[in-house]
Amino acid sequence: MKVALFVPCYVDQFYPQVGIATLQLLEKLGVKAAYPPGQTCCGQPLANSGCERDALPIYRHFVQTFKDFDYVVVPSGSCVYHVRKHFDKLEQTPEVQRVRTTTFDLIDFITEVLQVKEMPGAFPHKVGLHLSCHGQRGLHQANESEMTPVRDGQLRRLLTSLDGLELTELDRNDECCGFGGAFCVSEAAISGRMGHDRAHDHLRNGTQVLTGGDMSCLMHLEGIVRRQKLPIRVLHAAEILNGATL
Protein backbone atom coordinates (compact mmCIF):
# COMPACT_ATOMS: atom_id res chain seq x y z
CA MET A 1 0.00 0.00 0.00
CA LYS A 2 1.55 3.26 -1.16
CA VAL A 3 0.44 6.02 1.16
CA ALA A 4 1.26 9.72 0.96
CA LEU A 5 0.97 12.22 3.74
CA PHE A 6 -0.43 15.63 2.90
CA VAL A 7 0.34 18.20 5.53
CA PRO A 8 -1.82 21.31 5.16
CA CYS A 9 0.17 24.52 4.71
CA TYR A 10 -0.57 26.04 8.13
CA VAL A 11 0.15 22.73 9.88
CA ASP A 12 3.50 22.53 8.09
CA GLN A 13 4.44 26.01 9.26
CA PHE A 14 2.86 26.29 12.69
CA TYR A 15 2.04 22.81 13.97
CA PRO A 16 4.83 20.49 12.73
CA GLN A 17 4.17 18.28 15.77
CA VAL A 18 0.78 17.40 14.29
CA GLY A 19 2.41 16.21 11.06
CA ILE A 20 4.96 14.26 13.06
CA ALA A 21 2.30 12.64 15.25
CA THR A 22 0.32 11.70 12.14
CA LEU A 23 3.37 10.09 10.55
CA GLN A 24 4.26 8.20 13.73
CA LEU A 25 0.70 7.12 14.39
CA LEU A 26 0.41 5.68 10.89
CA GLU A 27 3.72 3.88 11.39
CA LYS A 28 2.43 2.30 14.61
CA LEU A 29 -0.54 1.08 12.63
CA GLY A 30 1.80 -0.50 10.09
CA VAL A 31 1.69 2.19 7.42
CA LYS A 32 4.86 3.88 6.26
CA ALA A 33 3.68 7.10 4.68
CA ALA A 34 5.77 9.15 2.31
CA TYR A 35 5.83 12.94 2.32
CA PRO A 36 6.10 14.19 -1.25
CA PRO A 37 8.15 17.38 -0.88
CA GLY A 38 6.53 19.19 -3.81
CA GLN A 39 3.18 19.53 -2.00
CA THR A 40 1.69 22.93 -1.23
CA CYS A 41 -2.01 23.41 -0.49
CA CYS A 42 -5.42 22.09 -1.52
CA GLY A 43 -6.59 25.53 -2.72
CA GLN A 44 -9.46 25.87 -0.29
CA PRO A 45 -8.50 29.31 1.08
CA LEU A 46 -8.85 30.79 -2.38
CA ALA A 47 -11.94 28.91 -3.44
CA ASN A 48 -13.88 29.74 -0.28
CA SER A 49 -13.06 33.37 -0.93
CA GLY A 50 -14.69 33.17 -4.34
CA CYS A 51 -11.46 32.75 -6.29
CA GLU A 52 -11.95 29.22 -7.47
CA ARG A 53 -10.53 30.15 -10.86
CA ASP A 54 -7.24 31.28 -9.29
CA ALA A 55 -7.16 28.02 -7.34
CA LEU A 56 -7.26 25.75 -10.38
CA PRO A 57 -3.44 25.63 -10.82
CA ILE A 58 -3.19 24.61 -7.15
CA TYR A 59 -5.72 21.82 -7.72
CA ARG A 60 -3.73 20.57 -10.70
CA HIS A 61 -0.53 20.70 -8.71
CA PHE A 62 -2.16 18.70 -5.92
CA VAL A 63 -3.29 16.03 -8.37
CA GLN A 64 0.15 15.85 -10.00
CA THR A 65 1.81 15.51 -6.60
CA PHE A 66 -0.41 12.70 -5.35
CA LYS A 67 -1.63 10.86 -8.45
CA ASP A 68 0.68 7.86 -8.04
CA PHE A 69 -0.34 6.95 -4.50
CA ASP A 70 -2.95 4.45 -3.35
CA TYR A 71 -4.02 6.80 -0.56
CA VAL A 72 -3.42 10.39 0.43
CA VAL A 73 -3.82 10.83 4.18
CA VAL A 74 -4.50 14.27 5.63
CA PRO A 75 -4.81 15.28 9.28
CA SER A 76 -7.55 17.74 8.31
CA GLY A 77 -11.09 16.87 7.25
CA SER A 78 -11.60 20.28 5.75
CA CYS A 79 -8.86 19.88 3.09
CA VAL A 80 -10.16 16.40 2.31
CA TYR A 81 -13.68 17.70 1.87
CA HIS A 82 -12.35 20.34 -0.48
CA VAL A 83 -10.47 17.85 -2.64
CA ARG A 84 -13.42 15.47 -2.77
CA LYS A 85 -16.16 18.03 -3.30
CA HIS A 86 -14.62 20.95 -5.14
CA PHE A 87 -12.07 19.36 -7.45
CA ASP A 88 -15.12 18.78 -9.64
CA LYS A 89 -14.10 22.04 -11.30
CA LEU A 90 -11.15 20.25 -12.96
CA GLU A 91 -11.57 18.18 -16.06
CA GLN A 92 -12.43 14.77 -14.62
CA THR A 93 -9.47 12.79 -15.97
CA PRO A 94 -8.82 9.36 -14.44
CA GLU A 95 -6.04 10.96 -12.36
CA VAL A 96 -8.33 13.61 -10.96
CA GLN A 97 -11.07 11.12 -10.19
CA ARG A 98 -8.57 8.87 -8.53
CA VAL A 99 -7.10 11.55 -6.27
CA ARG A 100 -10.60 12.70 -5.31
CA THR A 101 -11.48 9.22 -4.04
CA THR A 102 -8.13 8.22 -2.55
CA THR A 103 -7.73 11.34 -0.40
CA PHE A 104 -8.74 10.50 3.17
CA ASP A 105 -9.00 12.27 6.45
CA LEU A 106 -6.63 10.61 8.94
CA ILE A 107 -9.40 9.37 11.22
CA ASP A 108 -11.46 8.02 8.34
CA PHE A 109 -8.35 6.32 6.96
CA ILE A 110 -7.69 4.65 10.32
CA THR A 111 -11.26 3.47 10.86
CA GLU A 112 -12.45 2.77 7.30
CA VAL A 113 -9.35 1.73 5.38
CA LEU A 114 -7.25 0.20 8.15
CA GLN A 115 -10.41 -0.95 9.96
CA VAL A 116 -8.88 0.00 13.29
CA LYS A 117 -11.67 0.73 15.77
CA GLU A 118 -9.80 0.84 19.05
CA MET A 119 -6.49 2.27 20.18
CA PRO A 120 -4.17 1.05 22.90
CA GLY A 121 -2.90 3.44 25.53
CA ALA A 122 -4.23 5.77 28.13
CA PHE A 123 -5.13 9.42 28.33
CA PRO A 124 -6.65 10.02 31.74
CA HIS A 125 -8.10 13.44 31.09
CA LYS A 126 -11.39 15.10 30.37
CA VAL A 127 -11.35 15.67 26.64
CA GLY A 128 -13.56 18.01 24.67
CA LEU A 129 -14.09 16.99 21.07
CA HIS A 130 -14.47 19.62 18.40
CA LEU A 131 -15.19 18.19 14.98
CA SER A 132 -14.83 20.55 12.05
CA CYS A 133 -18.07 21.22 10.20
CA HIS A 134 -16.49 19.98 6.98
CA GLY A 135 -15.57 16.74 8.73
CA GLN A 136 -18.86 16.36 10.51
CA ARG A 137 -21.43 17.59 8.02
CA GLY A 138 -19.32 17.40 4.88
CA LEU A 139 -17.66 14.01 5.32
CA HIS A 140 -20.30 12.65 7.71
CA GLN A 141 -17.72 11.69 10.32
CA ALA A 142 -20.26 11.92 13.12
CA ASN A 143 -23.97 12.09 13.77
CA GLU A 144 -25.43 15.54 13.47
CA SER A 145 -27.60 17.19 16.09
CA GLU A 146 -29.78 18.46 13.25
CA MET A 147 -30.82 14.87 12.59
CA THR A 148 -30.62 12.85 15.80
CA PRO A 149 -30.03 13.18 19.53
CA VAL A 150 -27.66 10.18 19.43
CA ARG A 151 -24.05 11.34 19.63
CA ASP A 152 -21.77 9.00 17.77
CA GLY A 153 -18.80 9.16 15.45
CA GLN A 154 -15.55 7.44 14.58
CA LEU A 155 -13.21 9.80 16.40
CA ARG A 156 -15.48 9.76 19.42
CA ARG A 157 -15.18 5.97 19.50
CA LEU A 158 -11.42 5.94 18.95
CA LEU A 159 -10.81 8.44 21.71
CA THR A 160 -13.03 6.72 24.25
CA SER A 161 -11.17 3.47 23.61
CA LEU A 162 -8.20 5.04 25.38
CA ASP A 163 -8.01 4.19 29.06
CA GLY A 164 -9.15 6.90 31.40
CA LEU A 165 -10.33 9.29 28.72
CA GLU A 166 -13.63 10.95 29.47
CA LEU A 167 -15.40 13.01 26.84
CA THR A 168 -16.99 16.31 27.76
CA GLU A 169 -20.73 16.62 27.18
CA LEU A 170 -21.22 20.05 25.72
CA ASP A 171 -24.26 22.31 25.85
CA ARG A 172 -24.04 22.57 22.07
CA ASN A 173 -22.52 19.42 20.73
CA ASP A 174 -21.63 20.44 17.21
CA GLU A 175 -21.89 24.16 16.75
CA CYS A 176 -19.36 25.76 14.41
CA CYS A 177 -16.30 27.34 16.07
CA GLY A 178 -16.32 30.31 13.70
CA PHE A 179 -12.96 29.79 12.01
CA GLY A 180 -14.32 29.55 8.48
CA GLY A 181 -11.09 30.27 6.58
CA ALA A 182 -10.99 33.88 5.41
CA PHE A 183 -14.15 34.39 7.50
CA CYS A 184 -11.92 34.57 10.58
CA VAL A 185 -10.54 37.91 9.38
CA SER A 186 -13.26 39.22 7.06
CA GLU A 187 -15.91 38.73 9.78
CA ALA A 188 -13.48 39.03 12.67
CA ALA A 189 -16.06 40.14 15.25
CA ILE A 190 -18.46 37.25 14.67
CA SER A 191 -15.65 34.75 14.26
CA GLY A 192 -14.09 35.79 17.54
CA ARG A 193 -17.44 35.69 19.27
CA MET A 194 -18.22 32.21 17.97
CA GLY A 195 -14.82 30.97 19.07
CA HIS A 196 -15.32 32.55 22.48
CA ASP A 197 -18.66 30.79 22.89
CA ARG A 198 -17.23 27.43 21.82
CA ALA A 199 -14.24 27.73 24.15
CA HIS A 200 -16.49 28.66 27.07
CA ASP A 201 -18.86 25.77 26.41
CA HIS A 202 -15.82 23.52 26.88
CA LEU A 203 -14.63 25.41 29.92
CA ARG A 204 -18.06 25.34 31.56
CA ASN A 205 -18.36 21.61 31.07
CA GLY A 206 -14.93 20.68 32.31
CA THR A 207 -12.78 20.18 29.23
CA GLN A 208 -9.10 19.91 30.15
CA VAL A 209 -7.88 19.02 26.68
CA LEU A 210 -9.59 20.28 23.56
CA THR A 211 -9.08 18.14 20.50
CA GLY A 212 -10.36 17.42 17.03
CA GLY A 213 -9.37 16.27 13.59
CA ASP A 214 -8.90 19.69 12.05
CA MET A 215 -6.04 21.92 13.10
CA SER A 216 -7.61 24.98 11.49
CA CYS A 217 -10.52 25.09 13.96
CA LEU A 218 -8.10 24.21 16.73
CA MET A 219 -5.67 26.98 15.73
CA HIS A 220 -8.53 29.47 16.02
CA LEU A 221 -9.73 28.06 19.35
CA GLU A 222 -6.20 27.86 20.69
CA GLY A 223 -5.69 31.51 19.79
CA ILE A 224 -8.73 32.37 21.91
CA VAL A 225 -7.74 30.06 24.76
CA ARG A 226 -4.30 31.62 24.91
CA ARG A 227 -5.56 35.19 24.60
CA GLN A 228 -8.03 34.64 27.47
CA LYS A 229 -5.55 32.45 29.38
CA LEU A 230 -8.12 29.67 29.81
CA PRO A 231 -7.00 26.47 31.56
CA ILE A 232 -7.40 24.31 28.45
CA ARG A 233 -4.75 22.51 26.44
CA VAL A 234 -5.31 22.16 22.70
CA LEU A 235 -4.04 19.05 20.91
CA HIS A 236 -4.81 17.51 17.55
CA ALA A 237 -6.40 14.08 17.88
CA ALA A 238 -3.39 12.54 16.13
CA GLU A 239 -1.23 13.68 19.02
CA ILE A 240 -3.50 12.05 21.61
CA LEU A 241 -3.88 8.83 19.64
CA ASN A 242 -0.09 8.80 19.15
CA GLY A 243 0.38 8.64 22.90
CA ALA A 244 0.82 12.26 23.91
CA THR A 245 1.10 12.89 27.63
CA LEU A 246 0.42 16.14 29.39
Partner 1 sequence: MSYLTHASRAEAFNLDHERTSWHDETLWFVRQKRDKAVYAVPEFQELRSLASAIKEHTLSRLDHYLAQFEAAALANGVQVHWAADAAEHNAIVLDIVRKRGATKVVKSKSMLTEECHLNPYLISHGIDVIDTDLGERIIQLRDEPPSHLVLPAIHLKKEDVGDTFHQHLGTEKGLTDPQQLTEAARQHLRAKFLAGEVALTGVNFAIAETGSVVVCTNEGNADLGVSLAPVHVASMGIEKLIPRLADLGVFTRLLARSATGQPVTTYTSHYTQPAEGREMHVIIVDNGRTQQLGRPDFRASLKCIRCGACMNTCPVYRRSGGHSYDFTVPGPIGSILSPNIDLKKHSTLPFASTLCGSCTDVCPVKIDIHVQLYKWRQIIAEANHLPAAKKWGMKFMGRLLASPNAFKISGKLARTGLRLLPHGLTHNQTANAWAIARELPEPPKQSFREWYQQQAPA
Instruction: Considering only residues 109 through 138, tell me which ones interact with partner 1, judged by CB under 8 A.
Output: 133-134, 137-138
Using CB atoms within 10 A of its CB, is residue 173 exposed (0-12), middle (13-18) or buried (19+)? middle
The region of 103-111, 112-120, 151-159, 182-190 touching partner 1 under the rule CB under 8 A is 182-190
The region of 96-104, 144-152, 204-212, 235-243 touching partner 1 under the rule CB under 8 A is 144-152
Residues 6+ apart with CB under 8 A from 85: 138
Which C-beta is closer to partner 1: that of 94 or that of 189?
189
Taking CB under 8 A as the rule, does residue 99 contact partner 1?
Answer: no
Sheet holding 126-129, edge to edge: 166-167, 126-129, 209-212, 233-236
Restricted to residues 34-73, the positions that interact with partner 1 (CB under 8 A) are 35, 37-41, 43, 45-55, 57-58, 60-61
Binding residue for partner 1, selected from 103, 111, 141, 191, defined by CB under 8 A: 191
Total number of residues that touch partner 1 (CB under 8 A): 77
The nearest distance, CB 237 to partner 1, in angstroms, is: 17
Restricted to residues 11-30, the positions that interact with partner 1 (CB under 8 A) are 11-20, 23
First to last CA, the chain: 34
Taking CB under 8 A as the rule, does residue 188 contact partner 1?
Answer: yes
Taking CB under 8 A as the rule, does residue 216 contact partner 1?
Answer: no
Residues 221-240, mask of contacts with partner 1 (x by CB under 8 A): -xxx-xx-------------
Binding residue for partner 1, selected from 67, 151, 196, 233, defined by CB under 8 A: 196
Which C-beta is closer to partner 1: that of 17 or that of 208?
17
Positive or negative torsion for Cα 118, 121, 124, 125: negative
Comparing CA positions, the residue from 70, 69, 59 lying closest to residue 96 is 59
Binding residue for partner 1, selected from 90, 126, 144, 151, defined by CB under 8 A: 144
Positive or negative torsion for Cα 102, 103, 106, 108: negative
Alpha-carbon torsion angle 63, 69, 71, 74, nearest 10: -50
The nearest distance, CB 246 to partner 1, in angstroms, is: 17
Tell me the C-alpha distance between 119 and 163, whole Å. Answer: 9
The nearest distance, CB 132 to partner 1, in angstroms, is: 9
